Amino acid sequence: MKVHILGCYSATPRALTNPTAQVLEIRNHLFLIDCGEGTQVQLRKNKIKFSRINHVFISHLHGDHFFGLPGLVSTFRLLGRKKELHIYGPKGIKEAITLMLKLGDSWTTYPLLFHELGSKGSELIFEDDKVTVETIPLKHRIYTNGFLFKEKPALRKLNIAAARKYGVDKSQFNLIKQGSDGTDTEGKTIFNELLTHDPEPPKSYAFCSDTVYDEGLVNFLRKVHVLYHESTFLTSDEHLALKTKHSTAAQAAKIAKLADVGTLILGHYSMRYGSLELFKKEAEAHFDRVALADDGKVFDFSGNLSQ
Amino acid sequence: MKVHILGCYSATPRALTNPTAQVLEIRNHLFLIDCGEGTQVQLRKNKIKFSRINHVFISHLHGDHFFGLPGLVSTFRLLGRKKELHIYGPKGIKEAITLMLKLGDSWTTYPLLFHELGSKGSELIFEDDKVTVETIPLKHRIYTNGFLFKEKPALRKLNIAAARKYGVDKSQFNLIKQGSDGTDTEGKTIFNELLTHDPEPPKSYAFCSDTVYDEGLVNFLRKVHVLYHESTFLTSDEHLALKTKHSTAAQAAKIAKLADVGTLILGHYSMRYGSLELFKKEAEAHFDRVALADDGKVFDFSGNLSQ
């Protein structure tokens, strides 16, 4: 599991910083989460293969989270895309994107499928044999969702040397990877634990931006491996966080602690402060495992995590 | 008169190149012409004062010419803009921009005024005491206008030393600058040419992108000082130019020659070629005064031009 931060600054794109967009690499999926203006350029700069993105999740319809989407959808067309593209986002997103395409008489050459969200509760919005994605209802100025990505348990890892040693035929390998015992040439049962290693435990990633401080989130976030939680402000501006329905770094850390998450990644920074280290410092007063997002940064959570 | 090229590459924004946008600085106006994705970042990188832009002219509603507009309009709001912003563009542009703002519940704090264009002929769309702007109907895949910016004749330049010498009182200066003769203290007429210098002759700038080769344009472009004409392709791909309703560099130069313009600026390049110099070379076979646009380049046409 990897998280590629394409943009993690609030409000407007600037010469050196980008609005929200990130790519979650999980079990061979590349999920694009939010798509501020310039996201397609950030995808190029970060050498992420456009063609592997089949699912886009949009948290809410403020410009710094979705104004890059019409351009990305159009560029997919210019690149000759044929594969389906699925877009998950608040009601209205379909009308906006299709209007932009209609005005340019630039219909896509590929199936563009919208999954509009309107529920106030959490919903399962994506599932295949490897991953599920659920919404996390966030409290912001307009209808907003976070997203919880969970790996399903992986297949057990076959120990081929052991299978040979016990005389287990390869026709049984698929079932053994799913947990079944094997049988040797004489019909004797060979227990699964002799033939397989444990797979990596399933991981989870929660994206929560934009949101006011809300302890109600803890129920959705309990023990997730990695939490990206917005921290637009420092504590000195907590009143602004409340007013604009954003969070401070300390508040993000409090949520991380209450939910006992593995790692907290901070982002969605206001540009008014001199240093990102201030966000880290204020968060670490409440929670130990804090990381700072920055544009172009890649977080690699492959291997066994602490949780 | 200056032209700031913010972006001059066709089709999609990339790591090092930007879609169409430019700022024409003319008689104290900053006119933004087209607004591809990333234009607000290009404005910042090129240190152009956002607040001085009051008029935006959009040629057509393909993404590479207007997908930066919702973001720019939103950023003006975040910067606390109070002044009117006028947007000139094809019918539909108002619906698109207002829908994007409505979805984010992000109405502007300043008057946002749309001037929607639908005429097939040329129209005068802006006029004040210094400048006029007319549309130039272009032939492209969708409804498209170029824009012709013309300075009005400037006031005559007062020769203060001469006014003193002839005993002309300063109460007459405004009328003299407008071309009137003066009067000395004894009531004797002092001819205007003794009291003033010629002002710089009025200049003109024509923006023509996107368009197929169209000799009908020559009527609008005759003797303009500076013509920006798209040159998406080289002659080897003239069939693609015809098919996609774009032009080659040679075709742009032929129009420049037929219209006897002062300087031709090429732009809207396809990314398929190795070097911009190829565009210049092919254009120069037909017309002498060819310049290449490039992102971040500023063309300064102050002073007396050859035409």
Confidence of residue B304 (pLDDT cuts 50, 70, 90): low
What are B16-65's pLDDT values in tens digits?
999 999 999 999 999 999 999 999 999 999 999 989 999 999 999 999 99
Are A100 and B96 within 8 A, CB to CB? yes
Are B99 and A104 within 8 A, CB to CB? no
Question: Which residues, 6+ apart, have CB-to-CB distance to B129 below 8 Å?
Answer: B152
Choose among B63, B90, B95: nearest Cβ to A71: B63
Are B13 and A40 within 8 A, CB to CB? yes
What are A202-212's pLDDT values in tens digits?
999 999 999 99
Confidence of residue B303 (pLDDT cuts 50, 70, 90): low
Choose among B12, B90, B100: nearest Cβ to A40: B12
Check the annotation: does B268 bind a ligand.
yes
Question: Which residues, 6+ apart, have CB-to-CB distance to B19 below 8 Å?
Answer: B7, B9, B10, B11, B12, B13, B36, B37, B38, B63, B64, B65, B67, B68
Structural domains of chain B ordered from first start: 2-154+200-300 (3.60.15.10), 157-197 (no CATH)
Check the annotation: does A29 bind a ligand.
no
CB-based burial, A195-219: b 16+ in 10 Å, e otherwise: bbeeeeebbbbbbbbbbbbbeebbe
Choose among B41, B45, B106: nearest Cβ to A38: B41
Asked if B83 and B54 touch (Cβ cutoff 8 Å), the reply is yes
Check the annotation: does B65 bind a ligand.
yes
Tokens standing for A1?
């599991």
Are A142 and B41 within 8 A, CB to CB? no
Residue A304 has pLDDT above 70, yes or no: no
Q: Which residues of A are catalytic?
A: 64
Confidence of residue A307 (pLDDT cuts 50, 70, 90): very low
A interface test, pick of B18, B34, B37 with most A CB neighbours within 10 Å = B37
Q: How far is B300 from chain A (nearest CA, A)?
A: 24
Check the annotation: does A225 bind a ligand.
no
Q: How far is B5 from chain A (nearest CA, A)?
A: 16
Question: Which residues, 6+ apart, have CB-to-CB distance to B26 below 8 Å?
Answer: B1, B2, B131, B149, B151, B203, B205
Are B61 and A37 within 8 A, CB to CB? no
Strand duo B144-151 + B131-138: pairing: antiparallel
Considering chain A, what percentage of its residues have pLDDT values greater than 70? 98
What are A132-167's pLDDT values in tens digits?
999 999 999 999 999 999 999 989 999 999 999 999
CA geometry: angle A143, A5, B10, nearest 5 deg: 90
- What is the pLDDT at residue A107? 87
ipTM of the shown complex: 0.89
Catalytic residue status for B64: yes
